[in-house]
Structure 1
Amino acid sequence: MEAFAELKDPRRKAGQRHNLTLCLALFTLAIAAGNKGFLAIGDWISSYNEQLINLFNPPKNRLPSYSTVRRALLHIDYQGYSTCLANFFNVQPSAGETIGLDGKVLKGSYQIENDNLNSDSHPAIMLVSAYIVERGLILEPCQVNAKTNEIKALPELIEKLALQGVVFAFDAINTQKKLVN
């Protein structure tokens, strides 16, 4: 839970029974255990309830439900979460390893609403992910500016990684002549 202590809790304080760090720790462990989906996470929490209570020692000896974990994840800073995970696991590429870089659009992240005055329309969120091929680990993703594409974000990410002896692998979109220069 200490790994997530720096993350700000975006939820309102009224009605909170479980802190964000507990929800994130349970979510991370459940996903690492191979659970996919919140119902599976809820089943996992129920199955290991006693062991998890002993491990985390939550207030009133109660763990959050899967819906509480889901609601806690709705508004977290995903880049902050991935940074916390990368720091906790100390994921650092070594010389000679291959880092695959690829841009992806987050499914369902766009919002097109013209009739709701409280909600601004916005384009889909695009991230560039860095993947250590040999170990199957993902490094902290980099968000792409909404007005550009992954081609513009790659030099920034490569400079940010600034690694000696690491091999970068790109998909076809990133083999343009202007980018190579």
Structure 2
Amino acid sequence: MYLEAFTTFFSELTDTRQSAKITYPLEDILFVTLCGVIAGAEGWSEIRDYAAGHLDWFQQHGYLSDGVPVDDTIARTISRIDPEQFRLCFIKWMQAVHEITQGQLIAIDGKTLRGSYQRGNRQSTIHMVNAFACKNKLVLGQVKTSEKSNEITAIPELIKLLDIEGA
């Protein structure tokens, strides 16, 4: 159920690559990247190594039928994805695989992303507000804010995106 849900929701993403040059479906690269990051991969080459190490499993589940893409292909493909479109697909996917029960605790919290600070530009730090289902330890969605002080204005935007009535 969860694998099919992933492909269903992320197939809505616009693939901006030239169709004649596509060897690896966008859903394959997204799923491999997600699995690699969850497993602790840091960087494109580690995501590729993870995929190569689990190639049989991916192929048994219908992914990577043409083998593992090189790390540059993964990086290029991921970098071309529209972040807003990805965020909406991710939220829909989480809603599909997570059932909210009456009275469930949803924590809403702001975070500053580690490593997003650039020395030359103090304004470059990325601030996010996310909704977290405490019982299942699952992020349901997140919204980027322009500054840490804008978290309070981002919370209503995040709540509107989620179906969390009664939680």
**Would the TM-score normalized by the shorter structure come out above 0.5?**
yes
- Alignment partners' CA distance in 1, 2:87 and 2:157: 18
Confirm whether residue 88 of structure 1 aligns to residue 97 of structure 2: no
Which of residues 47, 56, 74 is equivalent to 1:50? 56
Q: Secondary structure at the match of 1:43?
A: helix
Counterpart of 2:109, as a letter, is: D
Q: Secondary structure at the match of 1:21?
A: helix
8 Å contact kept, 1:101–1:130: yes
Confirm whether residue 22 of structure 1 aligns to residue 28 of structure 2: yes
1:8–1:155 Cα change, 3 Å: same
Q: Secondary structure at the match of 1:64?
A: coil
Q: Secondary structure at the match of 1:56?
A: coil
1:144–1:49 Cα change, 3 Å: same
Structure 2 equivalent of residue 135 of structure 1:
136
CA RMSD of aligned residues (A): 3.4
- Alignment partners' CA distance in 1, 2:159 and 2:93: 22
1:138–1:62 Cα change, 3 Å: same
Q: Deviations over 1:68-97 (max 9, x none)?
A: 223322232334334323433423532211
Structure 2 equivalent of residue 156 of structure 1:
157
1:124–1:12 Cα change, 3 Å: farther
Quote the offset at 1:112 in angstroms: 8.6
8 Å contact kept, 1:79–1:140: no
1:41–1:142 Cα change, 3 Å: same
TM-score, normalised with respect to structure 2: 0.70
TM-score, normalised with respect to structure 1: 0.65
Counterpart of 1:140, as a letter, is: G
- Alignment partners' CA distance in 2, 1:134 and 1:147: 27
1:73–1:96 Cα change, 3 Å: same
Q: Deviations over 1:24-72 (max 9, x none)?
A: 021123334x23223432222222223433433656x332123322332
Q: Name the % identity.
A: 27
Quote the offset at 1:139 in angstroms: 1.2
How many residues get paired? Answer: 158
Query: Which consecutive residues of structure 2, in runs of 5 or more, have no partner in the other structure?
Result: 1-6
* Greater helix share, structure number: 2
Quote the offset at 1:125 in angstroms: 3.6
- Alignment partners' CA distance in 1, 2:85 and 2:99: 17
Counterpart of 1:138, as a letter, is: V
